[in-house]
Amino acid sequence: MRLIQKIGEWLDLRLQLGASIRETSKHPVPRETASWFYVFGSAALTCFMLQIVTGILLALIYVPSAGEAWNSLQTLNHGISLGWFIRALHGWGSNFMVAIVLIHMVQVFLFGAYKFPRELTWIVGVLLLLVTLGMAFTGQIMRFDQDAYWGLGIGASIVSRVPVIGPWAVNLMLGGPIIAGATLSRFFALHVFIVPGLLIAFVGVHLLMVLKLGINEWPMPGRVVRRATYMQEYRELTHKQGIPFAPGAVWKDIVFSGFILLAIAACAVSFGPFGPGGQPDPTIIQTAPRPDFFFLWIYALLSFLPPSAETPILLIGPAVGIIVLLALPFFAGEGEKSWRRRPIAVLTILLMAVALGTMTHLGQHTPWSPVMDAWSSEPIPSQFVRGRTALERQGALVFQAKQCHNCHSLGDRGGERGPALDRVALRLTQDQLIRQVIQGGGNMPAYGKNLSPAETTALVAFLTTLHPATQVPARDASRGVAFGAGETAAGR
């Protein structure tokens, strides 16, 4: 014990750090901030440190070469003792880090911590969010599989839409004319040098400001922030009623960080590493590329934007979003901090959560994509063919063979790109069905050139049977007039 103390004293005489570390750890914080709501910032930092350690461990094996990266990931997963676990820790650590950074941001926003004098802390925090997402995106490319390859293609297609400089920007992003070795090398440099360097620098500034300006006090409804008086009020909160950061508040940070590390390890053990998926071979086109969880909402958004508005929204939307976040402390730098008195702030968070949650859910299920193999793997449920005529059954065959099932579901099976056809005969008359099949429209391709008259007749005969037995199918009333009273219903 005495030896350790002596070594400590020897080091401190030369480093001269002990006093300032003691002072920093004992600095007074408002009593109420020793709260479980205040643990997310430190937990994000813990995640980041785990990412650094596991990232360096992975770099011992990983080969950042387009030709070898995928094989080196396989070696990590299968060939090296516990390589799969380090990959899993890094992958799950990434997910936890993004999630905790987002939770931290919501907490800081709802507690009004971005207001005077912590505007710059918030701005650096926004930059930290961006570089964290940058790490997540470039990390997804390190897992150099089919998703990474086509994800780069999506990125290049978006970048190419920038006016004037787009085509050059694509070459700059890819490091050449196509996605290849140079692309992976530069994303590797981004993922292990450039973005982490920015992250470390921003974390340093962020932490320094938290220490210099003090942690945000617990917001009380009615305790309004004013530039003229705030510093004095905060000083009283900390120095008269405050408690020392260590051990008063820090023990909760430590416990929560430990819990998060445990949760990451538990996920890593239970669920294992992410991928890699198929080989990054662009000639293997049987693939449905999809981004990682935190980018699924963008993926969903991209399928819903109308074509004409897509480019402007893609290019201007993110810029507007970032500017709004950066500008927030300048138009709301004073006033109420408590979320109890800020209904619009609470509603904004709820709206964002619902929107992002919905988009992410849609991104997981991709109802806008044809189910590429439904025509050959999803049979038509038997109730739709039982008791039908030969012509109608022939139509059911056409329905399968011409891949209608890829976009249209029957009995909840098949694609959801187009409307479900279980009750289509209630909506469309025979003539309308023929027109829709031949001419398409409403986001459906025209099949006129691709179906013989006999096939069309059979298909439409089948479609007109798609209605509940208890309901009468749609019919064209004028037909009864044209063909005489005897012929009423079109089809059946």
Partner 1 sequence: MSEENGMSRRVMLVKLGILFNAIVGAVLAVPIVRFLFSPVTREKKFGYESWLSLGGLEQFPTGQTRLATYRNPVVNSWDGETADIACWVRNVDGQTFQVFAINCAHLGCPVRWFPQSSLFMCPCHGGAYYQDGSRASGPPERGLFQYNHKIEDGKIFIRAGEMPTPGRAANTKSGGAMCA
Site for partner 1, rule CB under 8 A: 65-68, 149-150, 153-154, 156-162, 166-168, 170-172, 174-183, 279-283, 285-289, 299, 302-303, 305, 307-308, 310-311, 368-370, 372, 375, 401-404, 406, 417, 440-441, 443-447, 449-450
Shortest distance in whole angstroms from residue 440 CB to partner 1: 7
**Which one, 66 or 322, has the nearer CB to partner 1?**
66
CA torsion angle for 209, 210, 215, 219 (degrees, to 10)?
60
Shortest distance in whole angstroms from residue 323 CB to partner 1: 23
Shortest distance in whole angstroms from residue 190 CB to partner 1: 13
**Which one, 157 or 241, has the nearer CB to partner 1?**
157
Return phi, psi of residue 193, to 5°: -115, -60
Element (H, E) at 225: strand 224-225
Structure tokens at 351: 């709206």
Shortest distance in whole angstroms from residue 419 CB to partner 1: 13
Question: What span, in angstroms and rounded, lies between the C-alpha atoms of 15 and 10?
Answer: 9
Shortest distance in whole angstroms from residue 156 CB to partner 1: 5
Residue with tokens 């990434």: 94
Angle, CA of 349, 352 and 353, to the nearest 5°? 85
**Which one, 192 or 203, has the nearer CB to partner 1?**
192
Residue of 423, 429, 393, 388 whose CA lies nearest to 408: 423
Structure tokens at 32: 């109420």
**Which one, 17 or 288, has the nearer CB to partner 1?**
288
**Which one, 97 or 158, has the nearer CB to partner 1?**
158
Residue of 17, 19, 23 whose CA lies nearest to 211: 23
Question: What span, in angstroms and rounded, lies between the C-alpha atoms of 412 and 421?
Answer: 9
* Cβ atoms within 10 Å, residue 463: 27
Shortest distance in whole angstroms from residue 334 CB to partner 1: 40
**Which one, 166 or 244, has the nearer CB to partner 1?**
166
Are 78 and 84 spatial neighbours (Cβ–Cβ below 8 Å)? yes
Shortest distance in whole angstroms from residue 2 CB to partner 1: 49
DSSP SS3 for 410: strand
- Non-local (6+) Cβ contacts of 123 within 8 A are 326, 329
**Which one, 208 or 284, has the nearer CB to partner 1?**
284
Shortest distance in whole angstroms from residue 182 CB to partner 1: 7
**Which one, 286 or 382, has the nearer CB to partner 1?**
286
Q: How far apart are the first and last CA of the chain?
A: 95
**Which one, 107 or 360, has the nearer CB to partner 1?**
360
DSSP SS3 for 335: strand
Structure tokens at 176: 């050449």
Question: What span, in angstroms and rounded, lies between the C-alpha atoms of 265 and 10?
Answer: 38
Are 462 and 389 spatial neighbours (Cβ–Cβ below 8 Å)? no
Shortest distance in whole angstroms from residue 44 CB to partner 1: 31
